[in-house]
Structure 1
Amino acid sequence: MFCKLLSYTLKGIEPLKVQVEIDINNGLTAFDIVGLPDSSVRESKERVRSSIKNSEYRFPMNRITINLAPANVKKEGALYDLPIAVGILCSTGIASISKLENHLFFGELALDGSLRSFKQLFPIICSLNQKSEFEIFKFIVPTEAEPQLTCLNNPNILYANSLSDVVNYLNSKIELPNSIYNYINNNVPDYPDFAEIKGQLHAKNAMIVAACGHHNILLIGPPGSGKTLLAKSFPALFPPLTSAESIQLTQIYSLADLLSTSELVTQRPIRSPHHTITPQALAGGGASPKPGEISLAHKGILFLDELLEFNKKTLEILRQPLESKKIDISRAQHTVSYPSDFLLIASTNPCPCGYYPNLKRCVCSPNKVKQYLNKLSGPLLDRIDIHIETEPLTIKSLNSADSLSTKEMLHSVEIGIERQKHRFQADRFNESISTSEISTYCKLTSSGQLLLENWFERPHSSASPTMRSYHKILKLSRTIADLCDSDLIDEQHIAKAIQYRSLDQIL
């Protein structure tokens, strides 16, 4: 007696087909699983045996061989419990095989026959749901996963409480329910108001530009000047998560085992790793690579406080994802890719003691200051669009009643975002303008062009500007012009963009 079912596992966040083959023959009683199973898959023998018996079905006392193909891919987790049990019951004639075609079964079995969800379920169903060839398939999943899976609005996702429900469905005795709903993000996160930050008008204006065009930003200033509070207030300038973004983030967080099987990610992530983080924790890794901090910050913010205290090798990992918006993790057997489209906010002191250029308090020599800032490599600095200095607090700024609030800043950001939506006819930001699109979207006035040429050709203190920094200036200028409600980029927009890259003047 032979039966074959189709199942899927994950390679990164991409689906990988697995064929579950069940062969039952006469011979000594045995139950073997082959096809490179890990310990959790091998343990499914006992879960399947007990669940079939406790569901009051006869378990065959024959030689049972389960093959999970392809044999060169390691099989992990409890996701094969339900297809193995269904295959055994179909092979013995207890369940009808007529409905097996175009059906996919997912679920971990409890010993009493009830179905449990597992962490890979949501990412697997999401990846299959996005492919047109699976529109004719029905997915049989545990009812426990309904709070997550209903957001996919797929009527072909059917929910079962137990193995008995699945068998009765296959025998056409019952119909399994489905569920759909419209995604509404009602969560309003509570972030600090920018009005609580006294002074720092220059830094706040830079934050508006960063939020509007999705530009990476580096805050440089003395201790206590408000760098961390500025970064913590920044997420309030972001629009709420869309349904598609929420689904993609839930996939990533499920793979990282940071969500229960009934939760959805409904807020933009803010990841703030400590400076002692390892390269593997930042990029992702392990024998079966899991998402790291840069993938967990996808569609949100990666905040690196005390940037120059991070290990230099760890920081250099950021180069590829900042450019390509994804991270590739290679292992001996396979390579996986995870999305990492995040906005980087970093903060640092200007010198080891923290008080440069206040010569009354700073005890560092000019050479020591430059040596400290040179911990940040040129290629990585090139990828950070805005370098802004925060000012030391004064009594005048502390006593000032005027302080730019989040509401006022958000109004400016919304104006710029609307112009970008109209320009691109999509939810895109100026930061994503490609090299080939710059001439189309970044049109300059003659005075703006002259200022940009003078900046590029003038003598610099060290290395000359790169083409990347040249394009960063143009994209920044495009965002600044949008905030000024201008179609053309003028010299004032170019001048402000150059001013926002202060480290280009120092290093």
Structure 2
Amino acid sequence: MARCYAAVLNGIEAVNIDVEVDIGRGLPGIKLVGLPSPSVKESEERVRAAIRRSGFDWSRRRITVNLAPADIKKEGSALDLPIALGILAASGEVIPDSLKGWLILGELSLDGTVRPIRGALNYSILARERKISKMILPFENAREAALCHDVDVFAAKTLSEAISILKDGGKPVEPTEFVEEEKNEFDFSEVRGLESQRRAVLIAAAGGHNILMIGPPGSGKTMISRRIPSILPNLTFDEAIEMLRVHSSAGLTKDGVISMRPSFRAPHHSISSVGLIGGGNPLRPGEISIAHRGILFLDEFPEFRRELLEALRQPLEDGYVTVTRARGSSKFPTRFMLVAAMNPCPCGHLGSQLPCTCAPSAVMKYHQRISGPLLDRIDIHLEVPRRPFAETSAKEDGESSASMRETVTAARKRQLIRYSKLKDKTNASISGKALRAVAKLKPSARTLLENAVDKLELSTRAAEKITRIALTIADLDNREIINDFDIAEAVGYRLLDRRYLSA
């Protein structure tokens, strides 16, 4: 009998699996037990062919493979390599004791080649937690997994190479490289005019605030949105690892290169619930999780199905989403910055110089696709008017993204210091309790806030959003105290829900 360590993914978490192999009397064949999924059952033929093509004999006795614990469904193809090595150890081709202390994962081709898998970094984190110091992974995944300290990762291109590593050892791979800068084809210098909108976007980026832009077609909403990533600071190492864990479980990591830049996701409004929120079989993160620590851009915001928009409420508030299936549930992180854009009406010309052709009932129905509770969770509501041609064709460039990023980075550094003992590091993401502890308002500013909330009939959450925005404005000015002007500007970013979206 032989035994080795393996694992499977459950969401972004790796779950320990013991692969036990016994070869005994009985009709020749192989039997997998322990709640294997169809993809795992198919490994029987892959493993058989890979062992033969690698020059080893296939046992003519009864082979039983147990995947423990039996109450966890085993999904994916990452168990091919540990099953093959377990069979070779049980048949005497490999010394059984050589498997001890190794976590082994990989998919096998029929010719014995080891193919890449999803979730390499998550598996190495599991190995560290279980005090397993050595791993064998596919060559394409090894450098990613080596980011986890205290675990030596060895790369195998074939089944034969994996056996050689077990027999003779080898040199562990070096961790992958982090890339701090990526070429961005969009720059704010190309945005001419729209100074007040540029200011609002600067505030949103500095504090990590969600933002909704409303304006007619061609006013620049999408142009501005696609340039927001260019003014965000680099991620910290811990944030980059968080992002990488999600991307790795979704199979989105690039070979050998890990970016320190925030991700930017822009799904189409026809996306399914599984694609946006997460789910499927096997369970994978959705766009809201892939955008973790980055930007989720939803263009044509009201065109998304109502149930999808409502499903955003809890992830926006809590920073995670729980996806439940028949056999259990998984939690995915969703701490992203929402950037949404919409027209003021179905035809797009309400409030502009061009005549609106929509009936009042059509306009109301269009606005009601965005519920009040969802709107409450969006910090900044920004009007983007159509610009005169003379303004858009001006020769002078606007402020560059590099200059704006310096301003944003300085404000973010203040927040990193202020929230050094907290998990979340931005004004938009800290808890209400933490906000009340750090937000220092002048008495006149507090009175102004109270009057604005009463007059505009804003919710408690909206009042809190105003305070968060005002705190970010103070950070941009390198001040600790929130003054009247900060509150007045922040209140101005909460007026569109009264002007456009009130029923």
Normalised to the residue count of structure 1, the TM-score between the two structures is 0.91
Structure-2 residue corresponding to 1:448: 445
**Aligned residues of 1:183 and 1:243 also touching (Cα < 8 A):** no
Structure-2 residue corresponding to 1:11: 10
Q: Take 2:388 and 2:163, find their aligned partners in 1: how far apart are those partners?
A: 74
**Aligned residues of 1:222 and 1:356 also touching (Cα < 8 A):** yes
Structure-1 residue corresponding to 2:349: 355
Q: Deviations over 1:115-135 (max 9, x none)?
A: 33223444323x315x5432x
**Aligned residues of 2:75 and 2:282 also touching (Cα < 8 A):** no
Q: Take 1:80 and 1:412, find their aligned partners in 2: how far apart are those partners?
A: 49
Residue among 421, 425, 428 paired with 1:428 = 425
Q: Take 1:299 and 1:475, find their aligned partners in 2: how far apart are those partners?
A: 18
Amino acid at match of 1:456: V
Q: Take 2:176 and 2:248, find their aligned partners in 1: how far apart are those partners?
A: 21
Structure 1 residues 205 and 43: alpha-carbon distance in aligned structure 2, compared to 1, 3 A threshold = same
Q: Take 1:118 and 1:261, find their aligned partners in 2: how far apart are those partners?
A: 12
Q: Deviations over 1:142-174 (max 9, x none)?
A: 333234334445551122343334334444xx2
Aligned length: 497
Amino acid at match of 1:91: A
Residue among 437, 445, 458 paired with 2:434 = 437
Q: CA deviation at 1:238?
A: 0.9
Amino acid at match of 1:216: N
* More moved, 261-270 vs 319-328: 261-270
**Aligned residues of 1:5 and 1:21 also touching (Cα < 8 A):** yes
Q: Deviations over 1:237-291 (max 9, x none)?
A: 1112444444443432343344566664554321111222222221122233221
- The yes-or-no answer on 1:405 pairing with 2:404 is no
Structure-2 residue corresponding to 1:292: 286
Amino acid at match of 2:85: V
Q: CA deviation at 1:294?
A: 1.0
* More moved, 239-248 vs 338-347: 239-248
Q: CA deviation at 1:207?
A: 0.3
Structure-1 residue corresponding to 2:135: 139
- The yes-or-no answer on 1:118 pairing with 2:117 is yes
Task: Tell me the SS of whatever aligns to 2:179.
Answer: coil
**What are the residue-to-residue correspondences of 1:66-465 with 2, within 5 Å?**
66-125=65-124, 127-128=125-126, 131-134=128-131, 136-154=132-150, 156-171=152-167, 174-181=168-175, 183-259=177-253, 264=258, 267-358=261-352, 361-364=355-358, 368-398=362-392, 400=394, 401=396, 403-425=398-420, 428-458=425-455, 460=456, 464-465=457-458
* More moved, 257-266 vs 479-488: 257-266
**Aligned residues of 1:328 and 1:338 also touching (Cα < 8 A):** yes
Q: Deviations over 1:443-489 (max 9, x none)?
A: 1001101101111222x4xxx32111111011111001111221100
Q: Take 2:413 and 2:259, find their aligned partners in 1: how far apart are those partners?
A: 25
Q: Take 1:210 and 1:343, find their aligned partners in 2: how far apart are those partners?
A: 9
Amino acid at match of 2:90: S
Q: Take 2:398 and 2:139, find their aligned partners in 1: how far apart are those partners?
A: 51
* More moved, 350-359 vs 384-393: 350-359
Task: Tell me the SS of whatever aligns to 2:247.
Answer: helix
Q: CA deviation at 1:208?
A: 0.4
Q: Take 1:485 and 1:373, find their aligned partners in 2: how far apart are those partners?
A: 38
Q: Deviations over 1:70-91 (max 9, x none)?
A: 2233222222222222222222
- The yes-or-no answer on 1:468 pairing with 2:461 is yes
Task: Tell me the SS of whatever aligns to 2:154.
Answer: strand
Q: Take 1:200 and 1:403, find their aligned partners in 2: how far apart are those partners?
A: 9
- List gaps (5 residues or longer) in structure 2: none
Q: Take 1:411 and 1:117, find their aligned partners in 2: how far apart are those partners?
A: 39
Structure 1 residues 358 and 160: alpha-carbon distance in aligned structure 2, compared to 1, 3 A threshold = closer
What RMSD in Å do the two structures reach over aligned CA positions?
2.4
Normalised to the residue count of structure 2, the TM-score between the two structures is 0.91
Q: Take 1:402 and 1:29, find their aligned partners in 2: how far apart are those partners?
A: 76
Structure 1 residues 189 and 308: alpha-carbon distance in aligned structure 2, compared to 1, 3 A threshold = same
Q: CA deviation at 1:110?
A: 3.3
Q: Deviations over 1:304-354 (max 9, x none)?
A: 111112221111111011011111111111111211111111111112222
Amino acid at match of 1:485: N
Q: Take 1:56 and 1:366, find their aligned partners in 2: how far apart are those partners?
A: 76
Task: Tell me the SS of whatever aligns to 2:192.
Answer: coil
Seq. identity, %: 38
Amino acid at match of 1:393: R
Q: Take 1:392 and 1:269, find their aligned partners in 2: how far apart are those partners?
A: 29
Q: Take 1:63 and 1:360, find their aligned partners in 2: how far apart are those partners?
A: 79
* More moved, 146-155 vs 4-13: 146-155
Q: Deviations over 1:48-71 (max 9, x none)?
A: 233333333333221111111222
Structure-1 residue corresponding to 2:60: 61
Q: CA deviation at 1:392?
A: 1.7
- List gaps (5 residues or longer) in structure 1: none
Q: Take 1:343 and 1:319, find their aligned partners in 2: how far apart are those partners?
A: 13
